Amino acid sequence: MDLTPDSTIVFEAWGIPINATIISTWIVMALLTGMSMVITRKLRPEVPPNRWRTMLEVIVQGIEGQIAEIGHRPGHGLLYFVGTLFLFIVISNLMMVVPGFRPPTASLSTTAGLALSVLIAVPIFGITSRGLGGYLKTYLEPSVIMLPFNIISEFSRGLSLAIRLYGNIMSGAVIAAILLGVAPFFFPVVMDMLGLLTGLIQAYIFAILATVYISSATAEPNSPENAKETQ
């Protein structure tokens, strides 16, 4: 049994192997793009909202509310980044119930890429908000001695994000496969339900942690979110 979809080669294009992780990632991206085009094609003030638009607005407002609560200020710029991460992980994890579909989040390369995007976003948002000098100064707080530890802390955050998401999704898929061989009629249904719940929780945790890291980089030195980060 393959533990990761990376090892499953679907086809080759110009000598480049295309594995199941890439295919499932394309499927999720196409699904998100298609859903957004269908839901927002009549997005005008004079058009009454349908149930899909209402659902989308509830999701967007929920994400925006969480960002504002964590950052203690409106987070319109952060909404697009964190919202994209959340929706990609949610759809990927929910589609694990589709027979034959291997979620891309069950691959360490995908979760590492998501974590790397957060690591890159932290200094970008930090420099945009506080300036280059103000952001680099955070690595010297509370003293110069903390410089190497602060740098290690940045990379350990990304590593923990990748390993946490990968470990939970991959382990759920492996356990479901084992129980499918033991009791093929009952346990897989239960595990799929638990897998869906775990997938939603992991998407929420990933998005919240990304918001906390970025809010900490963009906050003023004595702001509440920096105080929480240092506790």
Residue 12, beta-bridge partner list: 17
All structural domains of the chain with their residue ranges? 5-230
Contact (Cβ atoms closer than 8 angstroms) between residue 20 and residue 8: yes
| Predicted pLDDT at 100 | 76
| Predicted pLDDT at 230 | 42
Dmax (CA) for the chain in angstroms is 60
Buried b (16+ CB within 10 A) or exposed e, 2-37: eebbbeeeeeeeeeeeebbbbbbbebbeeebeeeee
Intervals of the chain under pLDDT 70: 1-3, 47, 71-76, 168-192, 194-195, 220-231
CA contacts within 13 A on the Cβ side of 103: 29
Residue 18, beta-bridge partner list: 11
Q: For 60-72, how does the pLDDT look when each residue is reduced to its tens digit (9 = 90+)?
A: 888 888 888 876 6
Distance in angstroms (rounded) separating the CA atoms of residues 133 and 126 = 10
As a residue count, the chain comes to 231
Alpha-carbon distances of 79 from 66, 117, 128, 226, rounded to whole Å? 10, 15, 15, 20
Q: Looking up tokens 């393959």, which residue turns up?
A: 2
| Predicted pLDDT at 185 | 56
